[in-house]
A and B are shown apart, each in its own frame.
Chain A
Amino acid sequence: MINASLKQLSQALVAKQISSRELTQLFLDRIAHLNPTLNAFITVDPEKSLKMAQAADARLAAASGGEPAGPLTGIPIAQKDIFCAEGWRTTCGSKMLANFVSPYDATVIHRMQAEAGLVSLGKTNMDEFAMGSSNETSFFGPVRNPWDTSRVPGGSSGGSAAAVAARLAPAATGTDTGGSIRQPAALCNLSGLKPTYGVVSRYGMIAFASSLDQGGPMAASAEDCALLLNAMAGFDERDSTSLDRPREDYARDLEKPLAGLRIGLPREFFGEGCAAGVMAAVQAAIKEYERLGATTVEVSLPNSHLSVPAYYVIAPAEASSNLSRFDGVRYGFRAEDYASLDDMYMKSRAQGFGAEVKRRILIGTYVLSHGYYDAYYLQAQRIRRLIADDFVEAFKVCDVIMGPTSPSTAFKLGERAADPVQMYLSDIYTIAVNLAGLPGMSIPCGFAGGLPVGLQLIGNYFAEARLLNAAHRYQQATDWHQHRPEGVV
């Protein structure tokens, strides 16, 4: 059961081979056993989880008579601790929210749990306020990669990635502002999808950079991701950036043959700067796609080298504004001693935020300040346009763009922690996708030095079903996504 797909779990639950309660207990036991090593969860609450499982069992029992329960009813999953969940501590990986028990549900949580009947196994660890690429900025300590516990799982959705890779959960949610679903998926041998901006509601998802943040699924396979996205996505009037489009079945095209698929290979993603082992695995995956009937064409994203610089203006600018709400007044951490209101703000924020979050607030404050706004913020937004236009050009000649997700495999804990710029460059292939607002995926495509390598698939706007189709057909022909870390699973 611990390695079963969501479809298999659903069938077992409907056939009464196992109850949701039993299944939930099975994963709670694995969490109790392995989480002390991996630190993938910040909060687990077995009593709450089992109560949800019991309710799901009741829904499943009621459904066998008449109305069918949703296809995911009773399946337990892990929720990234960036999603507010009513009655659950929701920390966002920060001391600032270490004791914050959310009084409401994020739309994603409501849809997945109250509507789709998924059970929550708990809240997963993450970089503080999703700012990081290694999960080392979490106030609750780093997460360890189940493939090698001396290495990072990636970030910021590192806890979700480690939890699914070690099978502490069958699947999880993540969020992706600059690569935070795709990079940890790559580093932990998972499939992860960042949808088109506006497809998944951001209501109740603690904001980092509002024009870039997007929630999405992380799971063993593309098929699992499709089923989860069905439960997560959809218009939400509570999110002013949510797109009012008809609901889609993201699994509808999974089985479509790949004959005629045109794969664009950006020359900028196949040059220097990528580890040889990663490149070899990515090249082999593209050969496999050609065997499956796809054709390749070289494309160019000439401004992609500017994506990291532009991102480190835009994301911190938005973060500095979003995080101004943490002032120790209405919720969150308040310093013990202070002399005045201003002093209370200054001390609460100094003590409540970690070093990386403070750095980004300072960058954001500076680039938005008088006299620098045009040179930095507007220039970054203009470059953002150039980057988005490059994709428009590329998609004139191809259906899907492919390349590496991350320039390296999982690095050692502490290896890049001292140099922010080194860390930022971990996301060199993923950030442009967020700036353009496109959907992107990472899927397992092999190993380098015993560590997983991710293949990145980038689609045109709203091409999620196409990406999932391309990923699924590849996973039918290969078994990289079925490899599990030895000694853990």
Chain B
Amino acid sequence: MSLTLEQVQRIAHLARIEISESEAGTTQGQLNGIFRLIEQMQAVDTTGVEPMAHAQDVAQRLRCDAVTEADHRAAFQAVAPEIEAGLYLVPKVIE
């Protein structure tokens, strides 16, 4: 498998990372090198093997539907790039 320049640009867009033409070229080479390493997996027959998503085979814990945290909004918003009246500001998305 080999990624084309277009595919690299499409992945970068999906990941919301701006990428210039020249960067895409360098990245293409590096990603293809990494995928050559990854391709070793394809030689293995894993029919019938249960995928392992997690190191521990435990069920998700449930908790009571109760408020356990205090209000930290001011502290958490203090580290935001731009806020106003308790809201996070972003460029206008609806005209």
Contacts and interface: CB of A to CB of B under 8 A. Distances in A.
A76 B24 CA distance: 46
Contacts of A451: none
A113 B81 CA distance: 29
A342 B91 CA distance: 9
Interface string B14-30: 11111100000001001
A382 B79 contact: no
Nearest to A361: B15
- SS class of chain B's interface: helix, strand, loop or mixed? loop
B52 A384 contact: yes
Contacts of B50: 382, 385
Contacts of A386: 44, 46, 49
Contacts of A436: 55
A349 B17 CA distance: 5
Contacts of B66: none
A236 B61 CA distance: 12
Contacts of B41: 306, 309-310, 313, 376, 379-380, 383
A346 B19 CA distance: 9
A388 B31 CA distance: 27
A359 B34 contact: yes
Interface string A285-325: 00000000000000000010110111011000000100010
A334 interface: yes
B85 interface: no
A172 B72 CA distance: 29
B67 interface: no
Interface residues of B, number: 52
B92 to A, nearest CB: 8
B65 interface: no
A381 interface: yes
A160 B38 CA distance: 30
A340 B92 CA distance: 7
Given A101-B79, A369-B14, A197 B90 contact: no
Given A379-B46, A420-B34, A211 B72 contact: no
Interface string A355-378: 000110111011001000001101
Contact of A383 (B11, B44, B92, B93): B44
Contact of A358 (B17, B75, B82): B17
Contacts of B55: 196-198, 211-212, 388, 435-437
**How extensive is the interface on chain A, given as a class?**
35 or more
A179 to B, nearest CB: 15
A388 B61 CA distance: 24
Interface string A210-247: 01100000000000000000000000010011011000
B56 A437 contact: yes
A229 to B, nearest CB: 18
Given A309-B37, A350-B17, A362-B17, A331 B49 contact: no
Interface string B58-75: 101101000000001001
A244 B90 CA distance: 41
A396 to B, nearest CB: 18
Contact of B46 (A240, A312, A382): A382
Contacts of B17: 346, 349-350, 353, 358, 361-362
Contacts, number: 165
Given A103-B78, A243-B56, A379-B46, A420 B11 contact: no
A391 to B, nearest CB: 11
A346 B18 contact: yes
B91 A341 contact: yes
B80 A385 contact: no
Given A353-B17, A359-B30, A341 B37 contact: no
A448 interface: no
Interface string A426-458: 000000000111000000000000000000000
A190 to B, nearest CB: 25
Nearest to B7: A366
A313 B90 CA distance: 33
A420 B33 contact: yes
B40 A309 contact: yes
Given A198-B56, A211-B53, A437-B56, A331 B79 contact: yes
B80 A331 contact: yes
A329 interface: yes
Contacts of B61: 237, 240, 244
A362 B8 contact: yes
Contacts of B18: 343, 346-347, 349-350
Interface string A325-345: 001111111100011111111
Given A333-B81, A350-B18, 16 more contacts: A101-B79, A103-B75, A240-B61, A305-B40, A306-B40, A308-B37, A309-B41, A327-B16, A343-B18, A344-B91, A345-B16, A353-B17, A379-B46, A382-B46, A385-B49, A437-B56
5 nearest CB pairs, A to B? A437-B55, A381-B51, A382-B46, A197-B55, A350-B18
8 contacts: A333-B81, A340-B91, A347-B18, A378-B51, A382-B51, A385-B51, A421-B37, A437-B54
Interface of B: 3, 7-8, 11-19, 27, 30-31, 33-42, 44, 46, 49-56, 58, 60-61, 63, 72, 75-76, 78-82, 88, 90-93
